[in-house]
Amino acid sequence: KAGVTQTPRYLIKTRGQQVTLSCSPISGHRSVSWYQQTPGQGLQFLFEYFSETQRNKGNFPGRFSGRQFSNSRSEMNVSTLELGDSALYLCASSLGPDRGTTGELFFGEGSRLTVL
């Protein structure tokens, strides 16, 4: 079974640009969530999608947005990039928000964004 796939793995942007990251969940998983990982702030929750709907959102500015498609693939977008947006962006998938599931998330290898 293929794991969570994130593209691109590495990218470099300049301040003011925008970026779109993609995530393909494990087959059969309907929930996708995104996390930002930085040395200073650690791992922080960005948002979670299920059935094309955003269920929850972390404490990030509106420049960070996402969406989920009918095949459960997800994209996140960051507009007007700032230096502080340099981070590893991790996508995770799970079966979905049903009671009785394990709550376990399966992570991709991440997209390393550098903002110059």
Partner 1 sequence: AQTVTQSQPEMSVQEAETVTLSCTYDTSESDYYLFWYKQPPSRQMILVIRQEAYKQQNATENRFSVNFQKAAKSFSLKISDSQLGDAAMYFCAYRSPYSGGGADGLTFGKGTHLIIQP
The answer to the question of residue 56 lying near partner 1 (CB under 8 A) is yes
The answer to the question of residue 82 lying near partner 1 (CB under 8 A) is no
Among 45, 65, 75, 86, binds partner 1 (CB under 8 A): 45
Cα 5 to Cα 14: distance, rounded to the nearest angstrom: 25
The answer to the question of residue 43 lying near partner 1 (CB under 8 A) is yes
89: tokens are 């962006």
Alpha helices in the chain (DSSP H): none
The answer to the question of residue 53 lying near partner 1 (CB under 8 A) is no
- Which residue lies nearer to partner 1 by CB, 16 or 78? 78
Q: Where are the beta strands (DSSP E) in the chain?
A: 5-7, 10-13, 19-24, 31-38, 42-50, 53-57, 64-68, 74-78, 87-94, 106-107, 111-115
Total interface residues for partner 1 by CB under 8 A: 27
Minimum distance from residue 79 beta carbon to partner 1 (Å): 22
Minimum distance from residue 38 beta carbon to partner 1 (Å): 11
